[in-house]
Amino acid sequence: MDLILFLTFAIIAVVCALSMALQRHPVASALSLIGVMVSLAVLYVLLGAEFIAAAQLVVYSGAIMVLFIFVIMLLNAGAEKMTHKAGLAEFLGIPLLLLFLAFSTWVITNATPAGKMIKFGNFTGGGPREVGWELFTRYVLPFEVTSILILIAIAGAVRLANRELD
């Protein structure tokens, strides 16, 4: 059952990502990106990371994407005009990206041991209890620093949204 679930949601993720890259309208791109995030959440559950899967659904596809769609609606963004100002990237971009993908695939297949299989249920250390324990013991200083980061981000966003550019 693992392989079927993995293949289904991996294909959904790749198709949604391609659709995000190819759609002309920002709202369609945003909805495709939500599709990618939801299928990645399913893959996180398969990997034994229940807490991260829930956070992915709540924080990413809930909060962040709603913020994106809110801004798209607020600015009334229409379909984009394609211009050909990309310069070198227009000709070299796709071949170089394919080269990058081939190279990273080669590195991954060489670096991972061949018999290494991931089976659902083999790793059970990803619940809220275990993640919370690590977060508040070993990682308590980074955790507090991120709270300061969030505070700075809130202050910066409020300041930016209130000010006119000279």
138, two tokens: 């070993």
Among 143, 137, 120, 147, CA closest to 48: 120
Q: Is 104 in the site for another protein (CB under 8 A)?
A: yes
The residue to which tokens 């990618």 are assigned: 36
> Residue 37's CB: how many other CB atoms inside 10 A?
19
Say if CB 34 and CB 68 are below 8 A apart. no
- How near is the Cβ of 121 to another protein at its closest, in Å? 10
118 binds another protein (CB under 8 A): yes
Q: Any contact of residue 141 with another protein (CB under 8 A)? A: no
Select the residue interacting with another protein from 33, 42, 54, 91 (CB under 8 A).
33
Place of tokens 């759609």: 23
Position among 35, 57, 95, 123 found at the interface with another protein (CB under 8 A): 123
Query: Would you count residue 68 as binding another protein (CB under 8 A)?
Result: yes
Amino acid letter at 55?
A: A
Tell the smallest beta-carbon distance from residue 68 to another protein (Å).
Answer: 7
Q: How many CB atoms lie within 10 A of CB 49?
A: 19
Per CB under 8 A, the list member of 12, 35, 46, 57 interacting with another protein is 46
> Is residue 134 within the footprint of another protein (CB under 8 A)?
yes
Q: Does 57 participate in binding another protein (rule CB under 8 A)? A: no
